[in-house]
Structure 1
Amino acid sequence: MTRHALTADRTATRARGRLEAVLRRGDFALTAETSPPDAGAPAPVLARGGCLKGLADAVNVTDGAGARAHMSALAAAALLARDGIEPVLQFTMRDRNRLALQGDILGAAALGIPNILCLHGDDVATGDQPEAKPVYDIDSRELMRTARRMRDEGTFPSGRPIEPRPALFIGAADRPTDPKPGWKPDALLAKIDAGADFVQTQYCFDMDLLRRYLARLADHGVLERLFVIVGIGPIASAKSARWMNENLFGVQIPEEIVRRLDGARDQQAEGRRICVELLQELSEIDGVGGAHLMAPRQEEAIAEVIADSGLLSRRSAA
């Protein structure tokens, strides 16, 4: 019996979010990403992310992306949930200690947010207030461990009870890499042991590299224990592709894609077409549970890609 079956048995009595349900029944999941606005009202949140309603199974809400202050991720996620858009609430370790993080986990559950993603967080030195003091009281794996205990045992780390316990689907981040001889996915295995149920990866546009990476994960039993959601997105231009290759750690867009963008009359439209094609290819690769579509402030482009991919129409009956 796989871990997925064991988890399904153990959690049968708790409510599941749409993302978890889609993954567990074996359909190809589609997640997207939005950033909270610099605003003190709900309308801008829905204006930015509302186009993903009915398309993405869940929408990640970033937590202080770029080490800059924005509307609270918890508040933005709650607004999306209230509007019928399931959030994945990101938690960075940069800004809050363990007490605040535990409180926000309970608050998220109470507000109808079933999914969390535990992240390290961008360095404050890269933001627009570099004098800010980072916290890093615990690391992302410790938060996963804490969240799993709160969910499965119904207690805080101190042993104090939580009633009712939060319903959580716990996520981690990963970066596909071309595995060298002898390489083992130790970091990812540690996240699974800490409590990760799913992983969302950094951008991966090289499908051959991805297949080699997944094969190595399979060799070490990772794919039997974890849902893998691969990061992808519409590239706005060849210039953007070159910038990503130079500035985003672990991202390598194949030269074939860059040349295709360079030769296109409408590079934005071509970037969306490329993303649709890669999305369809991803859906056929063994071991891939879904795709995570990212493009800063391009939620409408992501919605268009999901619709054009035709993947939602291929779903099994719920």
Structure 2
Amino acid sequence: MKLTTLFDKGEFVITGEVGPIKGAIHRDKSIEPSCAIEALQLQQHVHAVNVTDNQSAVMRLGSLAASVRLKTNGIEPVYQLTCRDRNRLALQSDLLTAYSLGIDNVLLLTGDHIQLGDHKEAKPVFDLDSVQLIEMAKGLKRGYDISGNRIENYLDMAFGAVVNPNFDPIDLQVMKMKKKIDAGAQFFQTQAVYDVKMFEAFMNKAQQFNCPIQVGVVILKSPQMGRFMNKNVSGIHVPKDWIDEIGSVDKQDRKKKAAEMAGRFIEETKAMVQGVHIMPLGWTDIVPDILEHAHVN
């Protein structure tokens, strides 16, 4: 099932996100990896589940293997593919392999820098950037590789991309968004957003493209998490009132408060977008409560 089909029908598209395990999938198929268990918790509440690709440059099980495992469990995956670890040969090969294994949706990304992760001695690749990656994928859909050679049984996938509404100046991010659309992006998921007014300012500029956008919501678990993101995560700003609110309750009540806060934000922004992408960071059990607060499920 392509997400683009749902967008075309006018559905409010809800996606979640899981990270593959740091290790291999058990060969006993009766034992599911934790990412599949998390995805199963999300299954009844979302249309599809993103599978991250060595997120934050931390080595984990490959996104493709995890995506295929979800697919076999009846869960629609959004396969994430980054430029950081692969050259153009590997990127094309992985896209063709993913489609051959039944993957219909892919999110095409540049990838976090190696210095953020647990293998700082690794050599980053970045043979292509995200715009070039999308353009290359579009070529594979038309039956040609990046060098112009014909391919057999070319892929037919829905191509997603990422945009950052927090970026300053926002006009530069809007320009890059247009480049991604021109290259072949069919929908967008935003980076984490917490400021409604900032997001509204971004959407006032982005709506000119008439391309589906899902607002990205990372669950804020603690005031310490908010302060850490403000200090260390480029392109994300957690307002003081969010940090104060999650810190106003005892630790045992923070899941309930986090669900309320995230749900309120989605409710305030849902009229501006075509969907929401929820990144629960392990708190998958509160996603139903978030959606209930947001009145979208």
Please list, as runs of the form range in 1=range in 2, the aligned pairs for 1:11-90 lying within 5 A after superposition: 16-17=1-2, 19-41=3-25, 43-44=32-33, 45-90=35-80
Is the CA contact (8 Å cut-off) linking 1:172 and 1:191 kept in structure 2? yes
Structure 1 residue aligned with 2:29 = none
- Amino acid in structure 1 at the alignment position of 2:8: R
Structure 1 residue aligned with 2:106 = 116
> Residues 178 and 167 (structure 1 numbering): CA distance in 2 closer, same or farther, change over 3 Å?
closer
- Amino acid in structure 1 at the alignment position of 2:197: D
Three-state SS of the structure 2 residue aligned to 1:155 is coil
CA deviations 1:38-59 (Å, max 9, x no partner) are 2322511322322111211111
> Residues 184 and 273 (structure 1 numbering): CA distance in 2 closer, same or farther, change over 3 Å?
closer
Does 2:262 match 1:272?
Answer: no
Structure 2 residue aligned with 1:154 = 143
> Residues 278 and 104 (structure 1 numbering): CA distance in 2 closer, same or farther, change over 3 Å?
same
- Amino acid in structure 2 at the alignment position of 1:272: A
CA distance in 2, matches of 1:180, 1:268: 34
Structure 2 residue aligned with 1:228 = 213
Is the CA contact (8 Å cut-off) linking 1:174 and 1:188 kept in structure 2? yes
- Equivalent of 1:289, from 268, 274, 280? 274
CA deviations 1:170-219 (Å, max 9, x no partner) are 1111110377697672111111111111111111111111111111223x
- Amino acid in structure 2 at the alignment position of 1:138: L
CA distance in 2, matches of 1:57, 1:88: 10
CA distance in 2, matches of 1:297, 1:47: 11
CA deviations 1:79-125 (Å, max 9, x no partner) are 01111111111111111111111111111111221111111112212
CA distance in 2, matches of 1:72, 1:181: 33
Shift of 1:165: 2.0
Structure 2 residue aligned with 1:4 = none
> Residues 183 and 171 (structure 1 numbering): CA distance in 2 closer, same or farther, change over 3 Å?
closer
Q: What 5-or-longer segments of structure 2 have no aligned partner?
A: 27-31
Shift of 1:73: 0.8
Structure 2 residue aligned with 1:247 = 232
Is the CA contact (8 Å cut-off) linking 1:55 and 1:307 kept in structure 2? no
CA distance in 2, matches of 1:160, 1:54: 42
- Amino acid in structure 2 at the alignment position of 1:253: V
Is the CA contact (8 Å cut-off) linking 1:93 and 1:120 kept in structure 2? yes
CA deviations 1:249-278 (Å, max 9, x no partner) are 222222222222222242221011111111
Q: CA RMSD in A?
A: 2.0
Is the CA contact (8 Å cut-off) linking 2:4 and 2:186 kept in structure 1? no
Three-state SS of the structure 1 residue aligned to 2:246 is helix
Structure 2 residue aligned with 1:92 = 82
TM-score calculated relative to the size of structure 2:
0.90
Three-state SS of the structure 2 residue aligned to 1:291 is strand
CA distance in 2, matches of 1:301, 1:71: 25
Structure 2 residue aligned with 1:203 = 192
TM-score calculated relative to the size of structure 1:
0.84
- Amino acid in structure 2 at the alignment position of 1:230: V
Three-state SS of the structure 2 residue aligned to 1:118 is strand
The count of residues paired between Structure 1 and Structure 2 equals 289
- Amino acid in structure 2 at the alignment position of 1:257: W
User: Greater shift after overlay, 104-113 or 262-271?
Assistant: 262-271
CA distance in 1, matches of 2:21, 2:170: 44
Three-state SS of the structure 2 residue aligned to 1:185 is helix
- Amino acid in structure 2 at the alignment position of 1:311: V
Structure 2 residue aligned with 1:11 = none
Structure 2 residue aligned with 1:186 = 175
- Equivalent of 1:212, from 201, 220, 223? 201
Is the CA contact (8 Å cut-off) linking 2:167 and 2:173 kept in structure 1? no
CA distance in 2, matches of 1:257, 1:185: 26
Is the CA contact (8 Å cut-off) linking 1:233 and 1:295 kept in structure 2? yes
Structure 2 residue aligned with 1:135 = 125
